[in-house]
Structure 1
Amino acid sequence: MRKFSFIYQYITNPRTVGAIWPSSKFLSKKMVDGIDFKKAKYIVEYGPGTGVFTKKILEKRSENTVIMLIENNEEFYGILKKKYNKQRNIIIIHGSAEHVQQYLLEYGIPYADYIVSGLPFASLPNSVSKGILSNTLKVLKTGGEFVTFQYTKVKIPFMRNYFPNITLKRELRNLPPAYVLQCKL
């Protein structure tokens, strides 16, 4: 996907596309560094966009690990289908992360070991953020982890209502620089 198309999606959907540029390879690496790919059976990705984190997850995953991508943006969903539809054990959903529980049930997935999120919580309506985080808690396996990134620390107190244990890492080699939040119960 050309970069100007990503910028176009940001301009036309600023509340759901949180950046003007895809995430860097450096941010992608930090986002998946904490995942135990040998043990993970089910990984869910919220808002994969053009698949920058997805690519890194697919490179490292065990061949039997099931990956579910949930993308709300129709153009990004189409790109993901073209890129990854032939991959083994990958499910691509056009829908909202608020309905993660329903999607897992529909595909017979009992839980998520890890949920990786590219969602812009700072620009999402509070009610949507609450719905997503509440349902994330319902599907995340005990001992599982929710990994997201944000460009500011403004939503961290809000996220601590759901995940009291948040480890923060800074990635300066991204446009704009970002914070990676590894969230545990």
Structure 2
Amino acid sequence: MGKKLNFFKEAVLTAKTSGTITPSSRFLAEKMLKGINFNNINLIVELGSGNGVITKHILDKLQPNNHLICFEINEMFYQELLKIEHPQLTVLNTSAEFLIAEIQKQGFKNVDSIISSLPLSIIPKEISQNILNESYKSLNSNGTYVQFQYTLDYYKKLKKLFGKENVRLKFEALNIPPAFIYKCTKK
């Protein structure tokens, strides 16, 4: 119960950047990762990792050739993520606006899959657009960008960026609150 209470306290204190007051459910995490072929990827990036709920699901699926880089700007959540000991995990306390430069510092050129829990609707528009542009540019051809949101605000923006036919919408009711999942493929 202590971790959930700590998450709630931190989320309330930082509502403008965390975008939620409850951690993601395992159902949401599983639906976000469904369809990612971990056998054929080198680098997966997680944006807005929070306290690591989805991070742990990703780590459970990693293959020996996979690496996970997490971006988290909230200091308390960043410190929680550092407690996860895994040789294929790198945790960065920096904004996803600098995704390309940061992955290059880690020795990677491109990303195969991005899992994002960033609250795009409450991030200033210029910053959220920069993050989306960095994400798109960083992806390999046929790379995937998976984003969850509590609204449909970003559906049109993602279709414009990735192309209408390359964005699929899913819904997860077993999450508090229920969430929309955008699954985008770079062609």
Report the equivalent of 2:105: 106
1:152-177 deviations in Å (ceiling 9; x for gaps): 11221122221222111110000000
Task: Provide structure 2 residue ranges, at least 5 long, that are not aligned to the other structure.
Answer: none
Task: Read off the aligned partner of 2:42 and give its amino acid letter.
Answer: K
Could you tell me how far 1:98 is from its partner in structure 2?
A: 0.5
Could you tell me how far 1:6 is from its partner in structure 2?
A: 1.5
Partners in 2 of 1:159 and 1:13 — Cα distance?
26
TM-score, normalised to structure 2, is 0.94
Partners in 2 of 1:48 and 1:9 — Cα distance?
14
Give the structure with the larger helix fraction: 2
Task: Read off the aligned partner of 1:171 and give its amino acid letter.
Answer: E
Task: Read off the aligned partner of 1:116 and give its amino acid letter.
Answer: I
Report the secondary structure of 1:122's partner residue: helix
Could you tell me how far 1:93 is from its partner in structure 2?
A: 0.4
Report the equivalent of 2:16: 15
Aligned residues: 183
1:102-141 deviations in Å (ceiling 9; x for gaps): 1111111111000000101111110111110111111100
Task: Read off the aligned partner of 2:39 and give its amino acid letter.
Answer: K
Report the secondary structure of 2:20's partner residue: coil
Partners in 1 of 2:147 and 2:12 — Cα distance?
22
Task: Provide structure 1 residue ranges, at least 5 long, that are not aligned to the other structure.
Answer: none
Aligned-residue identity in percent:
36
2:69 equivalent to 1:68: yes
Report the equivalent of 2:183: 182
Instruction: Map residues 77-88 of structure 1 onto 2, 5 A cutoff.
Output: 77-83=78-84, 86-88=85-87
Instruction: Map residues 17-56 of structure 1 onto 2, 5 A cutoff.
Output: 17-56=18-57
Report the secondary structure of 1:162's partner residue: helix
2:145 equivalent to 1:163: no
Partners in 2 of 1:8 and 1:128 — Cα distance?
25
Task: Read off the aligned partner of 1:101 and give its amino acid letter.
Answer: I
Task: Read off the aligned partner of 2:114 and give its amino acid letter.
Answer: I
Task: Read off the aligned partner of 1:11 and give its amino acid letter.
Answer: V
2:14 equivalent to 1:3: no
Partners in 1 of 2:56 and 2:46 — Cα distance?
11
Give the root-mean-square deviation of aligned CA atoms: 1.1
Could you tell me how far 1:4 is from its partner in structure 2?
A: 2.2
Report the secondary structure of 2:97's partner residue: helix
Partners in 1 of 2:17 and 2:162 — Cα distance?
22
1:85-111 deviations in Å (ceiling 9; x for gaps): x31121110010010011111111111
Could you tell me how far 1:150 is from its partner in structure 2?
A: 0.6
Report the equivalent of 1:138: 137
CA contact (8 A) 2:41 2:65 kept: no
Could you tell me how far 1:2 is from its partner in structure 2?
A: 1.9
TM-score, normalised to structure 1, is 0.95
Which segment is superposed worse, 124-133 or 160-169? Answer: 160-169
Partners in 1 of 2:162 and 2:14 — Cα distance?
28
Report the equivalent of 1:92: 91
